[in-house]
Structure 1
Amino acid sequence: MVLLTVVLNKTECLDEILHAFAENGINGATILDSTGMAHTLSDDEDFRFIASLRQILDPDRESSKTILTVIDEGKIPLVSKIVNDATGGLNNPDTGIMFCTNVTYMEGFEKNNAI
């Protein structure tokens, strides 16, 4: 089992991703509002230049969505396809990132609910 994390900058893709997850038996995701470092540092005088560049590149986006779900490792390619199809590709600028970490212990739900 792995914890799959998607930090989604293209928040308009969230519903499409979640519907595709559900259609493919990927249940139990948690969605968090998140804010990037550059946006948070925009009030700090030492980092205003970095934040001002962010505002020029994407002035409308103030936050991201972070998707967390525990899945079987074998479903990583499926999830990657779903996320990349919905976003147009995570390799595109300011789209998001996705990564997995091993889960060595969990409790609180049945394994079948997570895959």
Structure 2
Amino acid sequence: MMNLCYNMGADLWNLLRTGGSEMKLLICVLNDTDKLDELMIKLAEAGVKGATIINSTGMGRTLYNHQESALMNSLRALLDPDRDENKTIFTVVDEAQEKAFHKVMNEVVGDLARPDSGIIFTIPVDSVTGLSK
């Protein structure tokens, strides 16, 4: 019974703290890393308050690299060192921020339906601690 009350209280607290908006973890893989700075500036202007960005590599690129010869890998690393990396962006957003993220991403990167442009998806978040309004 105590656990049920605690969970209901935590749910109510999260509902009040987020203004009733369901919070989501938005994950975005940006393939054109040259557009990262512009994307971050426009996201901040659109109300997305923070994000974590990590270097990442997709499965397709990893398999492609594995199939090439060591000489080709060395030459490509010298000529185009950033080719194998993309950026993965993590941010916790409400519904309005999610819509803003999609809009800005479309403005900066273009249509994500194009091959090798990027991907965005969200996962529901049950609770959030340490997020400022």
- With the shorter chain as reference, the TM-score category is 0.7 to 0.9
Q: In the alignment, is the contact (CA less than 8 A) between 2:31 and 2:118 conserved in 1?
A: yes
Structure 1: tracts of 5 or more residues without a match = 50-58
What does residue range 47-62 of structure 1 map to in structure 2 within 5 Å? 48=67, 60=80, 61-62=83-84
The match for 1:23 is 45
Q: Structure 1 residues 85, 74: CA separation in 2 closer, same or farther (over 3 Å shift)?
A: same
Alpha-carbon deviation of 1:92?
Answer: 1.2
4+ residue segments displaced more than 4 Å: none
Please report the TM-score for the alignment, with normalisation by the length of structure 1.
0.77
Structure 2: tracts of 5 or more residues without a match = 1-22, 69-78
Name the aligned partner's letter for residue 70 of structure 1.
V
Equivalent residues, number = 99
Please report the TM-score for the alignment, with normalisation by the length of structure 2.
0.67
Q: Secondary structure at the match of 1:101?
A: strand
Matched-pair identity in %: 44
Query: Is residue 3 from structure 1 mapped to residue 21 from structure 2 by the alignment?
Result: no
What does residue range 99-110 of structure 1 map to in structure 2 within 5 Å? 99-110=121-132
CA RMSD of aligned residues (A): 2.0
